[in-house]
Amino acid sequence: MVKELMVERDYEEIFKKRKERLEKVYSNKRPDRVPFELFPSLSWIARYVGFSNADLCFNYEAILRANMKIHSDFNIDGIDFPIRVGAVLDLSLMLLAFMDYPDMAISLSGLTGPMHDILRDRYSRWPGRELPENAEPQFIGGKFMEDNEYSRLAEDSLGFLNNVVLPRVFEALSKPSSPEAHAAWIRLGMELQKRYDNDLRRNDLLLKYGWPVFPTALGVKPLDYISDHLRHPTNLMIDLYKRPGDVLRAVNVIEELTIKFLRTIVPTLMKAAQDTFKTKIIIIAYPLHLNSMLSPKMYDKFYWPSLKRVLIETINLGAVPSIFFEGDHTPHLETILELPKGKVYGMFEKTNLRVVRKILGDHIIIGGGIPTSVFAYGSKEQVFEEVCKLLKDIKEPGGFIFTGTGTPLPSGAKVENILAAVEAIKKYGTY
């Protein structure tokens, strides 16, 4: 059914059209039509291609074959971004711990299944390991810094992260300088080379099928960094009331390290963008976590000031901050107006996009979609109608990326509903 819609076969021309469309929207210019980024869950992809979730987390050959099928079958007019195949969890802890070695830091910032096997991290749970074979991988976090250790983090950040936190997080590194720890680092290096080789094969595949790729790195959100990787959200929320001064001092230190790191990696990514990908667009991804858990008062005091400075530095360096506003960001929408106009892409999980457009106008590039329930379980007619309504209300004056839904499509989502959304984008998403 999908392949019947694959009417375009000049992949060089497809690549040119997609690249120009995406470059325009990321530059907050008016493209020829609204871009569509399909965002299925790992379970949906596994079900479609006939592998288990565990296969797509641990088996590189299965991942490559899944990429081939997904990017061939869905290489249709109306879908513009390559589809994410495989699982990578946020391990931004490593971005600052290894900030003096930026290439290594970027490689370590995405936690994969094989890395989990080698390092035996206590952050995550994976299908076929701690979870059933067809479960979704989970980042659960944990407490790896005590409440009386904020001063150590502030006074000797890199030493504390490397000598105290890493041995607590990774069982294989629990005895630094031991034979076991040395062996784990060697095995990890070999694994990273395998992953790099697989990424090159995937990029070659994407180019072959006309999918543009923009250099992307994970960014650090100072308060989320402390919450997700050091204290756990529950403990951090208590700290905000019991130790506000300690938290703010640590946030400021993390902010300074983050800006220093950005000044190292963004020029490197910029060079790769120009030399390899022939584009000026590079993306730094900022998935927010605590934003929807904090009141406006707490958000404005502890979260937003440091994040704003990091985002502005990202912009000043020439990169596009790609922010995922997790949960309902409605109480904090007006703070986004403090960022430079037209320089930020924001994808919204649960926030009403019509409210976003009303408050922000064309201040940022907006990303989002229709409710998951409609996309996953409604009829194709319902999907078509809902997408058309959204486009009518949101697409003007430009700067909008349709992401299907605000969260990954569940395993039961029907292909015919994806195709209905494609048809709506093609018919009513043009400018």
Please compute, for residue 38, the number of CA atoms within 13 A of its CA located in the half-sphere on the CB side: 30
Rounded mean pLDDT of 41-47?
97
Q: pLDDT confidence of 199, banded at 50, 70, 90?
A: very high
List pLDDT tens digits, range 229-245.
Answer: 999 999 999 999 999 99
Residue 1 has pLDDT above 60, yes or no: no
List pLDDT tens digits, range 305-325.
Answer: 999 999 999 999 999 999 999
List pLDDT tens digits, range 123-142.
Answer: 999 999 999 999 999 999 99
Residue 4 has pLDDT above 70, yes or no: no
Helices vs. strands in the chain: H and E counts, helices first: 20, 10
Predicted local distance difference test score (pLDDT) of residue 290: 97
| DSSP code string of 44-103 | HHHHHHT--TTHHHH-HHHHHHHHHHHHHHT--TT--SPPP-S--EE-THHHHHTTTSHH
Q: Which residues pair with 402 in a beta bridge?
A: 36, 368
Predicted local distance difference test score (pLDDT) of residue 302: 98
Contact call for residues 81 and 35 (beta carbons, < 8 A) = yes
Structure tokens at 108: 């370590």
Residue 2 has pLDDT above 80, yes or no: no
Helical packing angle, 244-275 and 233-242, nearest 10°: 130
List pLDDT tens digits, range 323-360.
Answer: 999 999 999 999 999 999 999 999 999 999 999 999 99
Rounded mean pLDDT of 118-123?
98
Sheet holding 400-402, edge to edge: 216-218, 283-287, 320-325, 345-348, 365-368, 400-402
List pLDDT tens digits, range 13-42.
Answer: 999 999 999 999 999 999 999 999 999 999
Contact call for residues 397 and 28 (beta carbons, < 8 A) = no
Helical packing angle, 380-394 and 353-360, nearest 10°: 10
Residue 7 has pLDDT above 80, yes or no: no
- State what percent of residues in the chain have pLDDT above 70: 98
CA dist 47 → 60, 97, 114 (Å)? 17, 37, 21
Residue 6 has pLDDT above 80, yes or no: no
List pLDDT tens digits, range 79-116.
Answer: 999 999 999 999 999 999 999 999 999 999 999 999 99
Residue 191, number of CB atoms within 10 A of its CB: 17
Mean pLDDT taken over the chain: 95
Predicted local distance difference test score (pLDDT) of residue 9: 65
**Stated pTM of the model:** 0.95
List pLDDT tens digits, range 146-191.
Answer: 999 999 999 999 999 999 999 999 999 999 999 999 999 999 999 9
Contact call for residues 320 and 284 (beta carbons, < 8 A) = yes
Residue 8 has pLDDT above 90, yes or no: no
Rounded mean pLDDT of 372-383?
94
Rounded mean pLDDT of 259-273?
95
Predicted local distance difference test score (pLDDT) of residue 266: 97
Helical packing angle, 304-316 and 244-275, nearest 10°: 20
Residue with tokens 């130790």: 243
CA pair distance 91, 298, nearest whole angstrom: 25
Contact call for residues 328 and 292 (beta carbons, < 8 A) = yes
Contacts of 311-318 spanning 24+ positions with Cβ under 8 A: 311/286, 311/339, 311/344, 312/339, 312/340, 313/259, 313/262, 313/263, 314/219, 314/262, 314/266, 314/284, 315/339, 315/340, 315/343, 315/344, 317/262, 317/263, 317/266, 317/267, 318/266, 318/270, 318/280, 318/282
Name which of 8-17, 107-116, 261-270, 280-289 the model is least confident about. Answer: 8-17
Predicted local distance difference test score (pLDDT) of residue 10: 84
